[in-house]
Each structure stands twice: as structure tokens, then as C-alpha cells.
Amino acid sequence: MSCHFEEDLTAYVDGELPAARRVEVEAHLGGCTGCRATEALLRHTVARVAELPDFVPSVNTRRAVLAKLDALPVPWWERLRTLLRPGVLVPSAGLAVAVGLALVVVGPGPEAPEELEDPAVMELAANLELVEDYELLGLDSPEDLEVVASLHELEVAQ
Amino acid sequence: MLKVAAGDRRAFAWLFDRYHASVARFAFRFVGDRERAEELTQDIFVKLYRNAKAYQPTARFKTFLFRVATNHCLNEVRRGEYRVAHTSSEAPDGEETGGVEMAGPDGDRPDQALAGRELERAVGDALRSMSDRERAAFTMCRFEGMAYRDIAEALEASESAVKSLIHRATLAVARRIEELQAGTVPARSRG
Ligand SMILES: [Zn+2]
């Protein structure tokens, strides 16, 4: 275990060494029985760990998370909706609308096309950032938020 | 204009559907307990949306997610709220409250030295014996198949540090499996 190549062997087994170092390790393995034994042990271990059954989370997790989001002070989608109301749309907000609608059309499952992944993620982040900016306006008091909620109701009634 | 808000909520739900199994798997291997893993998973997703502003579009989303997940799990363990307890070794017989679904054939084939349950226990013991960061790096590498570079980003560490963490952790698991194969492991772990 005192061989100084030993500490690179797991990265070697994982295919994580730079090419030059990989060549050196390969050459070394030819002449070092200790490292060859360690390499075999590591490969065996990686293979055994891969056999472990997958952890399957309970089906209640999703509902629990959405309930926790609902329980937060004011649902962020409500505030986002209010934010979009004045018609002064920040460019990324316009995109968010498009992505939001696209998701409604396509559906939320893992079958959503790959290319939706990054735009959806980024627009989610952008939306949340808008909401955070909105918080900077100081609308965190219950009264203000109630007003905001009412404004939204008025808008829907139009 | 039909429910922009609903669309946005679905965007979040879509992210959840896509990634929650990964986060739950990570949390389970990290704390070794089903119930606590699910609590942690819920908290991580709540935190995720509250901290979405910190998301850098340059970072891959999964890396960002695992940074949030890792920080959360490390903090919870440090606060002592979640003792790392691999129930597979706490309750070696009978039903395990924290056990995993045994999907597919377990290791009862004669050519395999360890049955699935024993393997689970050996890995659980090894995970419990290592440092938090070793366990986090090992879990992301072995159970999520993440590249060292991405693990380094999630752990806010250098790649060479991650290489050492994963090497030490893999050796620890290797030794535990060897011990078990040699029949030198007592029925209860030494905690
Ligand atoms: Zn050597």
C-alpha cells in the first residue's frame, strides 16, 4: 500500500485519469503485483456496489413537497402571476410564459423532450428571480400581500 | 390566457418528477434510513425553489441540485438532527424499516459470495464508518454515476480532493466486503 501509484487506482478504474497518467498507471500495473491486486479489489467492489437494489422513494413524497410549497407564506406562482399583470413584461418573463404553456401542452412527465430540460430549468430560475426581486419591493407584510391577492382577483374578473 | 401560473407550477413539478428519485437515492445512502431520506428529499426540493436565484445557468442543473442536496444533508447531519444510522446493520434480521425495495434477483446465486442483504449491510457499515464528505462523494459517484468534475462542483472541492475522497471511500467499502466474505464480521457492527 506504500506504492505511490496506489492512490490513483480508483480514478483509473473509474476512467477518470487524464490520458497521460492513465498510460503511466497501465505501464506500472504490468510490474507491480501490489497495485494489480488493489486494482482487482477495486473493480470487484465497484461491481458489487452496482448490484445493490435501487432505493425507491415513496409515492407520497411528491404530494408532501407540493403541500409544503403551498404552506409557504405566499405561493410564488401567485406572486409571479401578479408580477406579470401590469403588462410590462420583462423579456424573460415573456419566454417564461411560452415555456409555461409549452409544458402544459407537452405534459410534465419524464417523457418531455430532452431539449425542454434546460430552457425549463432556466426559466424556472428566471421566474423565481423575478419573484425575489418582487420581494425587494417590500411586499412581505400580510396586508400588502392580501392587496396583491385581491388585485389579482380583480384582474381575473375583467 | 390559461394559467401561466399553473404552467410554472408544472415546470417545478416536472423538475421534481425528473430528479427526485436521484435526490432520494442520495439522501438514503447518505443517512441510511428510508424515512429520514424522504424527509430530507422533501426539504431539499423546498429549499431548491427558495434558492433558485443562486442557480447559475453555466452550471449543469443536476450539479446545482446536488450542491443544494449535499449542503443540506451535511448540515443536517452536523446539526445532529440526522444521526447517520444504516438500519440495514441496525436491524439485520426481519423487516427493516429503512431497507430498500429488493427489486430483481438478489445475490443468492451460488457463484456470489455475498447475498444481497449481506452486501447491503457491508456497504451500509462502510458508509457509516467514513467521513461525511467521503460518503457524499462516494454516493454521487457510485449511485448517481456522476463524473469527478461534477462531484467536485457539488462539494465545492478540487477534483484531486474528490479523487482522494472516492478512493478512500471505495477502499473502505472494499475492505468491509472482504471482511464479510471472510466471515470476520460480527452480527452487530461495532458502531
Ligand atoms: Zn504499485
Residue range A78-131, pLDDT digits in tens? 556 666 665 444 555 555 555 555 444 444 444 443 434 455 555 554 455 444
What percent of chain A clears pLDDT 70, i.e. is strictly above it? 45
Given a cut of 50, whether residue B73 has pLDDT beyond it is yes
Report how far apart, in Å, the C-alpha atoms of A80 and of each of A40, A84, A156, B10, B43 are.
Answer: 56, 6, 14, 14, 22
Q: Which residues of B41-57 are buried (b: 16+ CB within 10 A; e: fewer)?
A: bbbbbbebbebbeebee
Is A122 domain-assigned?
Answer: yes
| B77 pLDDT tier (thresholds 50, 70, 90) | confident
Residue A72 within a domain: no
B28 neighbourhood in chain A, CB within 8 Å: 55
Give the pLDDT of residue A17: 97
Q: Are B191 and B152 in contact (CB under 8 A)?
A: no
Q: What whole-number distance in Å separates Cα of residue A18 and Cα of residue A105?
A: 44
Task: Please give the Cα distance from B105 to A99 (Å, whole number).
Answer: 42
**Among A2-16, A18-32, A140-154, B103-117, whose mean pLDDT is lowest?**
A140-154
CB contact under 8 A, B7 and A99: yes
- CA angle centred on B59, ends B56 and B61, rounded to 5°: 95
Are A129 and B53 in contact, with CB atoms under 8 Å apart?
yes
Specify the long-range contacts of residues B152-161, CB closer than 8 Å, at least 24 apart. B153/B59, B153/B63, B153/B67, B154/B63, B154/B66, B154/B67, B154/B69, B154/B70, B155/B67, B155/B70, B156/B67, B157/B133
Query: What is the secondary structure of A72-84 as a DSSP string?
Result: SSS-HHHHHHHHH
Assigned domain for A91 exists:
no
From ligand 1's centre to the CA of A35, what distance in Å?
4
Q: What is the mean pLDDT of residues B83-108?
A: 44
Is residue A148 within 8 Å of A82, Cβ to Cβ? yes
Task: Please tell me the predicted confidence (pLDDT) of residue B60.
Answer: 80
A154 interfacial to chain B (CB closer than 8 Å): no
**Considering the domain boundaries, does residue A70 fall inside one?**
no
Q: What is the DSSP letter of B188?
A: S
Residue A149 has pLDDT above 50, yes or no: no
CATH class of B1-85: mainly alpha
The CATH 1.10.1740.10 portion of chain B extends over: 1-85
Overall pTM > 0.90: no
For residues B9-17, average pLDDT: 80
pLDDT at residue B7 is higher than 90: no
At B98, the pLDDT band (50, 70, 90 cuts) reads: very low
Say if A11 falls within a structural domain: yes
Q: Does A4 touch chain B (CB under 8 A)?
A: no
Give the span between the Cα atoms of B71 and B81, in whole angstroms.
14
- State the distance from the centre of ligand 1 to the C-alpha of A47, rounded, in angstroms: 22
* Other beta carbons less than 10 A from residue A123's beta carbon: 23
B115 near A CB under 8 A: no
Which of the pair, A6 or B63, is modelled with greater confidence? A6
Contact (CB, 8 A) for B89 and B121 = yes
Q: Which of B152, B174, B140 lies closest to B26 in space, CA to CA? A: B140
CB B97 within 8 A of CB B34: yes
Q: What is the pLDDT of residue B182?
A: 82
From A15-19, B45-49, B106-110, B129-133, the region with the lowest mean pLDDT: B106-110
- Of the two residues B153 and B92, the one the predictor is more confident about is B153
Residue B191 has pLDDT above 50, yes or no: no
- pLDDT bin (cut points 50, 70, 90) of residue B6 is very low
Chain A residues lying within 8 Å of B178, measured CB to CB: 41
Instruction: Decide if pLDDT at B174 tops 50.
Output: yes
Question: What one-letter code names the amino acid at A48?
Answer: R
Say if B71 is an interface residue toward chain A (CB within 8 Å). Answer: no
Residue B114 pLDDT exceeds 70:
no
3-state secondary structure of B181: helix
Average model confidence (pLDDT) across chain B: 78
State the ipTM, two decimals: 0.77
Going along B12-168, which residue ranges are E strands? none
Question: Which of A45-59, A60-74, B108-122, B133-147 is most confident?
Answer: B133-147
Look at B5 and A81 and tell me if their CB atoms are within 8 Å: yes
What are φ and ψ of residue A143, in 5° steps? -60, -50
Does B59 contact chain A (CB < 8 Å)?
no
Residue of B nearest to A98 (CA): B4
> What was the pLDDT predicted at B117?
86
More confident site: A90 or A147: A90
- In angstroms, the separation between the Cα of residue B58 and the nearest Cα of chain A is 10
How far is C-alpha B27 from the chain's CA centre?
A: 4
Nearest CB neighbour to A57, from listed B38, B55, B147:
B38
- A46–B contact, CB cutoff 8 A: yes
CA of residue B173 to ligand 1 center, whole Å: 20
Contacts with A49 from chain B: Cβ below 8 Å: 123, 142-143, 173
Residue A148 counted as domain residue: yes
Range of the domain at A12: 6-50
Query: Closest by alpha carbon to A135, among A67, A73, A91, A68?
Result: A73
The domain tally of chain A equals 2
Chain A CB contacts of B173 under 8 Å are: 45, 49
What per-residue confidence (pLDDT) applies to B153?
Answer: 93
How remote is the CA of residue A108 from the centroid of ligand 1, in Å? 51
* Distance from the first to the final alpha carbon of chain A: 76
Q: Which of A30, A9, A146, A19 is nearest to B170 (CA)?
A: A9
Q: What fold, for B110-191?
A: Arc Repressor Mutant, subunit A (1.10.10)
Name the residue in chain B with its Cα closest to that of A56: B101
Most confident listed range (A68-77, A109-118, B90-99, B178-187): B178-187
Assign B115 a pLDDT band (cuts: 50, 70, 90). confident
In a domain, A98, yes or no: no
| Cβ atoms B128, B163 nearer than 8 A | no
Q: pLDDT by residue (tens digit) across B126-165?
A: 999 999 999 999 999 999 999 999 999 999 999 999 999 9
